[in-house]
Amino acid sequence: MRRFSVCCISSRVSRTYRKQKHPQLLCLIFILGYSSGDTMENLNEDNAFGNSEIGNGRLSGSSRSGATNILLNHDFSRGLHSWHPNCCEGYVVSANSGGQGEVSLKSGSNNAVVTKRNECWQGLEQDITGRISLVSPYMVSACVGVSGPLQGSADVLATLKLEYQDSATSYLFIGRTSVIKDRWEKLEGTFSLSTMPERVAFYLEGPAPGLDLLIQSVAITSSGPCEYNSTSIRCVSEEDDNIILNPKFEDDLTNWSTRGCKIVLHDSMADGKIVPLSGKFFASATERTQSWNGIQQEITGRVKRKLAYEVTAVVRIYGNNVSSSDIRATLWVQALDLREQYISIANVQATDKDWVQLQGKFLLNGSPSRVVIYLEGPPPGTDILLNSLVVKHADKTHPSTPPVIENPAFGVNIVENSNLGDGTKIWFPLGNCTLSVGTGSPHILPPMARDSLGPHEPLSGRYILVTNRTQNWMGPAMMMTEKLKLFLTYQVAAWVRVGSGASGPQNVNVVLSVDNQWVNGGQADVSNDTWHEIGGSFRIEKQPSKVMVYIQGPAPGIDLMVAGLHIFPVDRQARFRHLKRQTDKIRKRDVVLKFSGLDSSSLSGTIVKVRQTRNAFPIGSCINRTNIDNEDFVDFFAKHFNWAVFGNELKWYWTEPQQGNFNYKDADEMLDLCQKHNIETRGHCIFWEVEGTVQQWIKSLNKNDLMTAVQNRLTGLLRRYKGKFRHYDVNNEMLHGSFYQDRLGKDIWANMFKMASQLDPSATLFVNDYHVEDGCDARSSPEKYIEHILELQEQGAPVGGIGIQAHIDSPVGPILCSALDKLGILGLPIWFTELDVSSVNEYVRADDLEVMLREGFAHPAIDGIMLWGFWELFMSRDNSHLVNAEGDINEAGNRCLALKQEWLSHTQGHIDDQGEFNFRGFHGTYVVEIVTLSKKVSKTFVVDKGDSPLVVSIDL
């Protein structure tokens, strides 16, 4: 046994690094721990670190994975050679010499003991300067223990010490693992550096003063095989096991902790009525006084950034006379600068009767200092029971295949006896109402159906009359289970009217009951004086056992009339051909390149190559603060989008969650990123009218204080960002909420616009709402939206733009176009502000997205399109992403990029005898290259909007 001692000859740098952010580092630090139930022998057998030697200037040796270990004397076979205790003492002991304290040693192994520790940071250090490369990811792995007067557990930490020339030393936290007596624990993680310090030292530290730190072996290796694609390099660990320690409580409650409550281990409860679904034990989070109380485990270092993880838990509830409640899995993440984030992973409706499975996914964009997963949700007093928890690297999602639809029969009405030539045959009353046939309904198809179907036979003029209605849902119904094909998009169209006696417009709704699940086929507010068109769409993606269509809606006692119901599959490809022609008319302009400076003899040999580098049409996306920590996300975003909108970071509940407690840091950082990449930004949103989105402190204000708060919000936000946001959504979703209007009066909406305009005259002020374009919400029909905008303008509101959110399902071109035509009469620019589509099949999702992009691009009233995100796990809806969680572009993403390429004009040819070159191209930025016999010249020009040809003079 050899002893080594090192004196401190300089003062220790303050350990405040845990509260500092070091932007010069791009580091990924993780610890993968074994259960504290693993003995030293088990760890040795499972992790055979390779030898490490220096020879001929090159590092050789291997770890279990075959990667090079950059640490010297990693297993202490040469004592403490290359290692240095930090202001303490160290020595090496072998198993053959009798062990160290209570921890058993495996025969033949050597173990470092770090003793006489007076500070928690004192430990064992090795200089690794010159043995690491920039950007390369490295895996850290160590087998550690503690000895001494230990009560409970102690933390062992891995740290990097980074010394920069002419700047302060910084410390990079690698991770921690908890160690108890008689156990060895495994500490593991990865890191990478984006800038190279003058000196890099790796060391282990952490237990309380007076405790000895034990180290059996350490390795720092290249971290596994790399997967390459066209946009990024991603290093993936070979390990695919559960990163949760003691996941089934076989080692008591080791590695588990409480979140504001108590946890208890059980083999049964409730007199044996509750037993584990699997294994021998389960845990209960009990004595919960808040909904966020629950059971948790820290997984710091065991999760890698930019990898998708799948979470599966077996849970139930117990007590407090609650038979059913949500249980949520949540991730708490603390960044290196101590910024906190809560990530919702999944939720499930749990009961007190049976165990249920909770499943979800998450991904970390940045490099966290701490990560904790926990369960929460039920009301106070209700126990959360957990039988098992699995968190592992998610399997790759297999790409979809295009759905095969035989004989789609586009345009064929699947509603039998639609013209009622056989009376009410096939139809039946839903409920105790009465069906009969009347005459006098329109003979022409509803306009949206007419746009889809083209020339068509006139309608019969007969309608179904529904009387004796005693419930809103009563109306005519028909079974059509066998008539629907999966993955086909169906359009719905009908004429509807209501009888006399109604106190106002009545909501009428075409509904499909698909295995007793409600599917919206279209809605309209209908008065009793005329026939109204109702239109919508739907799609079924799982094979149903029973499908019924019915029409419902008016108040009890009000008669309902239905005529000419059509349900038919739409031919999207035929529509696309029409849209391409329309696009060429409104998004292109004739261009004349007029050349001078060449004699006539040079013209014939001159070649002109025209290439468009940027389309002027705005296509942008929503981003979130955490996204910008992921360089793969940023690369895709900056390459393919020219506008941005912030998902939450500009909303009032984000910038001022508690009164007077402001957070503009997130928005500032996102705005800096956009400005760096020349990306324009929309401000979403100043206010949000839906009460459920309003923070509690605002709800508690009296009228005068609320008005003051509204004024302060406007002043604080718009003065801070004056001139930086091109648009503002002033008050989001006024057609669906009235929080501020109810408390501050009818004028408040217009006054919000007036104040915003005064504070930032350069910004275009938008209204913004949802379900305007799809026919499925009568509250926000185009007619209601137009009425709303006109009322604001009459009150002096400077409304400058119309926002259509476009969270849409099964879009149909003529329905969308009809809404845009109606809104277009106001003469205001219209934007799709939050576009997303959803389908489990990537090809159907791609078709939906293509519908929306082509319709928007082809309509003269649309001035821009914003996607509501594009990256999996960072979307408001499932199955709506264009890029999978780990960076793979799916079919929907490929379709989007293909359209962006289609909307760039490229051409080439020769200058004509008049010294001109003519073409028709999309609006945007171009480069023209002229190649003559003697020289090559390049010029840049811009094609803007205009009806007459654009003449560009180029002097050669």
Specify whether the backbone of 29 is left (phi greater than 0), alpha (psi in -120 to 50) or beta: beta
| Integer angstrom CA distances of residue 868 from 735, 833, 931 | 20, 8, 44
Alpha helices in 486-630, H assignment, sequence order: 572-586, 600-603
8 Å CB contact between 621 and 870: yes
| Alpha carbons 177 and 185: distance in angstroms, whole number | 7
As given in the structure block, the two tokens for residue 237 are 């660990």
| Integer angstrom CA distances of residue 906 from 576, 614, 943 | 21, 11, 13
- Closest Cα partner for 603 from 318, 914, 309? 914
Instruction: List, by residue number, the catalytic residues.
Output: 733, 834
Tell me how crowded residue 709 is: count the other CB atoms within 10 A of its CB.
Answer: 16
| Alpha carbons 142 and 216: distance in angstroms, whole number | 7
* Residues linked to residue 219 through DSSP beta bridges, in sequence order: 141
Q: Name the amino acid, one letter, at 166.
A: D
| Alpha carbons 839 and 361: distance in angstroms, whole number | 18
3-state SS assignment for residue 945: coil
8 Å CB contact between 717 and 725: no
758: part of which helix (H) or strand (E)? helix 748-759
| Integer angstrom CA distances of residue 694 from 527, 691, 708 | 34, 5, 16
How many residues are there in the chain? 956
Distance between start and end Cα atoms, the chain: 85
8 Å CB contact between 103 and 216: no
Burial of 248 (0-12, 13-18, 19+ CB in 10 A): buried
8 Å CB contact between 531 and 562: no
Sheet holding 153-163, edge to edge: 84-85, 124-127, 199-205, 153-163, 170-180
* Residues linked to residue 371 through DSSP beta bridges, in sequence order: 333
832: part of which helix (H) or strand (E)? strand 830-835
| Alpha carbons 856 and 617: distance in angstroms, whole number | 11
